[in-house]
Amino acid sequence: VINYISHDKAAISLKKKLESLGTRAIIIKADIGNETEVKNLVNSTVKEFGSIDVLVNNAGIVFDIPFKEKPTEKWKRTLDVNLNGTYYCTKYFLPYINKDGSIINISSSNGIYSFHPDSIDYDVSKAGVIMFTKAMARDLAPDIRINTIAPGWFDTDINAKLPKDYVN
């Protein structure tokens, strides 16, 4: 299942690539920061596949705005997508994850080391993903593995405006 919110052409391209490799794939547009849309994503997934082996919580947004100028709605949106979205997807997909399945949460090195106050909402949300994963690992073991990956800055849309020497 390829979930997207704004890059439909990329989702279609990925679906075609997966199908060319012999993998069945579907595309579902859903805002994972919206609990109702996550429930619909889960229902569509289960209707198509029945159960899942791996859940990857990979959504992330950032609004690099100085803290003193950051609108509250940007702070809330960042937490809704980055942290609450991880919670929603885990909560609602969990009943359908096969025994010995896996959950992979994508955090960030910013969740470990805060680099700049312009991204404090992002940093807090990704730190929350790390702690969420640690707590859930105890609860889900030994049937379901849950881990966090905390990469540095990669060449993605979210980092497009960063200086090239920042990006790995």
Determine the residue type at 47: K
> What are the backbone angles phi and psi of residue 62, rounded to the nearest 5°?
-150, 145
Q: Which residues of 3-27 are buried (b: 16+ CB within 10 A; e: fewer)?
A: bbbeeeeebeeebeeeeeeeeeeee
Residues annotated as catalytic are 122
Q: Give the integer Cα–Cα distance in Å for 119 and 129.
A: 15
Alpha-helical runs (H) found in 63-141: 72-79, 85-93, 120-140
Q: Read off φ and ψ for residue 2, nearest 5 degrees.
A: -105, 115
| CB of 78 closer than 8 Å to CB of 59 | no
The one-character DSSP state at 82 is I
As a residue count, the chain comes to: 168
